[in-house]
Amino acid sequence: CACAKRSEACGDLRAPRCLLVATDPDPWHPLSSGQRPPGTGSLTAAVETASGRKATVIGKPNTYMFECIVERFGVDPSRMLMVGDRLETDILFGKNCGLDTVLTLTGVSNLEEA
């Protein structure tokens, strides 16, 4: 049960050396059916609230994963392009990493928001 796993995580987070790490702050994810199931951000927020701890986001829009990819694979950031459908994570990630960006307009964000 997902609820039991979140409860266990909150218990584990009582240990000061236990880290709370999140992949992204997305509150929800779009489905082709129009439904919006909870995203990593909303699930992380529940654990943050219950545990009193703050998560470290290592994915978009944080640059940590980008830096790992550039270092590990030796890619040239000037030859990279970030394509995404969400301004506050995908496009912000690209900007934070110094990349050109393309907003797809097929998912979360729309032209008026851009």
pLDDT in tens, 44-103: 999 999 999 999 999 999 999 999 999 999 999 999 999 999 999 999 999 999 999 999
pLDDT per position as a tens digit, 45-58: 999 999 999 999 99
Indicate the pairing of strand 81-84 with strand 56-57. unpaired
For residue 32, give its domain range.
2-57
- Which tens digits make up the pLDDT trace of 14-50? 999 999 999 999 999 888 888 999 999 999 999 999 9
- If asked whether residues 67 and 53 sit together in one domain, one would say no
- How far is 23 from 86, CA to CA, in rounded Å? 15
Q: Which residue has the tokens 């059916």?
A: 33
68 and 39 in one domain? no
pTM of the model: 0.83
Residue 74 in tokens: 């030796």
Q: How far apart are CA 110 and CA 114, in angstroms?
A: 7
Question: Do residues 44 and 23 lie in contact, with contact meaning Cβ atoms separated by under 8 Å?
Answer: no
Overall average pLDDT of the 2-10 stretch = 86
Measure the CA angle with vertex 87, ends 83 and 93; round to 5°. 65
Considering the domain architecture, whether residues 40 and 67 belong to the same structural domain is answered as no
Confidence check: pLDDT of 1 > 90: no
